[in-house]
Amino acid sequence: MNEKEKVQFLASYDINQYDRPSIAADIAVFSIGRKLAEELDYRRLPTKTLRLLMIRRAEQPYQGEWALPGGFMQQGETIQETARRELKEETGTDKAYLTLCDVFSDIGRDPRGWILSQSFIAVLNDDDLANSHLEASGDAGEAGWFDITVQKTAEHKKEKHNTVTCDKEYELTLERSAPADKTQLRAVVREHIEYRDYHELMTYELVSSEGIAFDHARIILSTFNSLKRMLDSDIRIAFDFMPEQFTLTDLQEAVELVSGQELIKPNFRRKISEYVLETEHQVQNGGHRPSKAFVRNLERFYR
């Protein structure tokens, strides 16, 4: 604690003598979209889909393939600021709540070298999208929304030497939503879970990847599963998908899309009733009873 010693030490300390990785922030941006071209029945509501935002790479490596929005950490900013800046640069959205998700630091995950990636989750609603320049950029070809489908294709539970492990294989399909250009990206990701007491040591491994850059397919899987778990433990995150005004059916569909299971309407409404306030507005969207518009009951959000 000798002050002089301390100053001397720091003056002679060269942090650059140690090798170290570059840091990237990668952001999985989710939103909900409407499937168009379904004029079959004037009564029927449009089918909704869960969407993921991807960026087409203009540079090598993986030039022309699609990657998660993100980029490298720069001096003077925190990793959260990196994520926010990159999202703003690439999409024009200034959404503040990026949820830290996981870290990917395996060697060899990026051909450019030793690169550690911090993954984040962001959820955008229709108001956020209106304020972004995503639609405007259009076929400037940069950003694009993809309908995301995750299908579990295999599951093997093993037990040996007192440890239980479980391998699951998922097929990830990303189908471009907005322009009818039919771009389809596919990947297979293996989830390896090792159970130790209550802990689940989860690792994601890329099996194959078509059109998705780097190891981003497994990052997508990991964030998708995180989003599910977050929703399970706190339904309030579903409101992130909703604009200022929304119908309860919209909200329920958001939850169902993420969780992958259907809910019973009255039960769902009872559950979320404390978080919403009825407005006088009505939403009419078909040959059936119009629905009431609701807003967030913000007081209940602040615990």
**Residues acting as catalytic residues:** 142
Rg of the chain, C-alpha, whole Å: 22
> In sequence order, what are the beta bridge partners of 123?
30
Residue 83 within binding range of its own copies, rule CB under 8 A: no
What minimum distance in Å lies between the beta carbon of 235 and its own copies? Answer: 9
User: 77: Cβ–Cβ under 8 A, 6 or more apart, which residues?
Assistant: 85
Residue 41 within binding range of DNA, rule CB under 7 A: yes
Residue 289 within binding range of DNA, rule CB under 7 A: yes
Single residue of 36, 103, 130, 207 touching its own copies by CB under 8 A = 103
Residue 3 within binding range of its own copies, rule CB under 8 A: no
CA-wise closest residue to 301 among 227, 239, 232: 239
What minimum distance in Å lies between the beta carbon of 233 and DNA? Answer: 12
CA-wise closest residue to 49 among 174, 234, 211, 226: 174
Enumerate residues 282-301 that contact its own copies by CB under 8 A.
296, 298, 301
12-17: long-range contacts, CB 8 A cutoff, minimum separation 24:
none
Residue 47 within binding range of its own copies, rule CB under 8 A: no
Residue among 45 and 116 whose Cβ is closer to its own copies: 116
CB-CB contact of 243 with 127 (8 Å) = yes
What minimum distance in Å lies between the beta carbon of 283 and DNA? Answer: 7
Residue 105 within binding range of its own copies, rule CB under 8 A: yes
Residue among 2 and 284 whose Cβ is closer to DNA: 284
Single residue of 36, 130, 154, 164 touching its own copies by CB under 8 A = 164
CA-wise closest residue to 24 among 64, 69, 62, 76: 69
What phi, psi does 276 have (nearest 5°)? -125, 155
The H-assigned helical ranges of the chain are 3-12, 79-91, 126-131, 134-137, 216-233, 248-259, 265-272, 298-301
Residue 21 within binding range of its own copies, rule CB under 8 A: yes
Q: Which residues lie near its own copies (CB under 8 A)?
A: 1, 5-6, 9-10, 13, 15, 18-23, 60-61, 63-65, 72-80, 96-97, 99-100, 102-103, 105-107, 111-116, 118, 164, 195-199, 201, 233-234, 236-237, 239-240, 296, 298, 301-302
